[in-house]
Chains A and B, each alone.
Chain A
Amino acid sequence: MDASAPLSPSLAPVGCYFAGDDNLRVTVLNGLAGVTVRVAGRFLHCEAGAAPRIEPFAHTLVPASDRTASTLTTRLGTGWLLDVQAIASGGTPLTGQTFVILSVVRGLSGGIEDLATLAAGYLTSTQRVVWPGDRIHDSLDGGGALRSISGTTPAPGAEISETVPAGARWQLLAFRAQLVTDANVASRVIRLLVDDGANILAHTSTNVGQATALTYTYGWVQGPMTGAVGQVNALLFGLPNLLLLGAGWRIRTSTASIQVGDQFSLVQYLVREWIEGS
Chain B
Amino acid sequence: MLRCRSCGGIYEPELPDKTRYFHACPPLSAHEILDEHAAGTSVLSPPTLAALDAALAADRATPPKAGEPSRVDQVLASLTIERPNKRDETVTHAAEPGLPARIKSDGAGVDVRPAREP
Contacts and interface: CB of A to CB of B under 8 A. Distances in A.
Contacts of B7: 154-155, 158
A233 interface: no
A159 B17 contact: no
B66 interface: yes
Interface stretch (A38-46, A212-220, A257-265): A257-265
Interface in B81-112: 88, 90-94, 100-101
B80 interface: yes
A65 B20 contact: yes
Chain A interface category by residue count: 35 or more
Nearest to A163: B24
Contacts of B32: 157-158
Interface string A181-217: 0000001010100010010100000000100000000
Nearest to A189: B69
Given A151-B11, A158-B9, A257-B30, A195 B20 contact: no
A147 interface: yes
Interface residues of B, number: 43
Given A148-B17, A150-B12, A155-B7, A258 B77 contact: no
Interface in A24-75: 31-34, 64-68
A150 B22 contact: no
A154 B19 contact: no
B101 A64 contact: yes
Given A150-B15, A189-B69, A155 B9 contact: yes
B29 A158 contact: yes
B46 interface: no
A158 B31 CA distance: 8
Contacts of A200: 78, 80
A195 B26 contact: no
Interface of B: 4, 7-12, 14-27, 29-32, 35, 66-67, 69-70, 73, 76-78, 80, 88, 90-94, 100-101
Given A68-B93, A165-B90, A258-B29, 9 more contacts: A66-B20, A150-B15, A153-B9, A154-B8, A157-B29, A165-B22, A200-B80, A256-B70, A257-B69
10 contacts: A67-B91, A68-B94, A68-B100, A91-B18, A163-B22, A163-B24, A164-B90, A165-B91, A187-B67, A247-B90
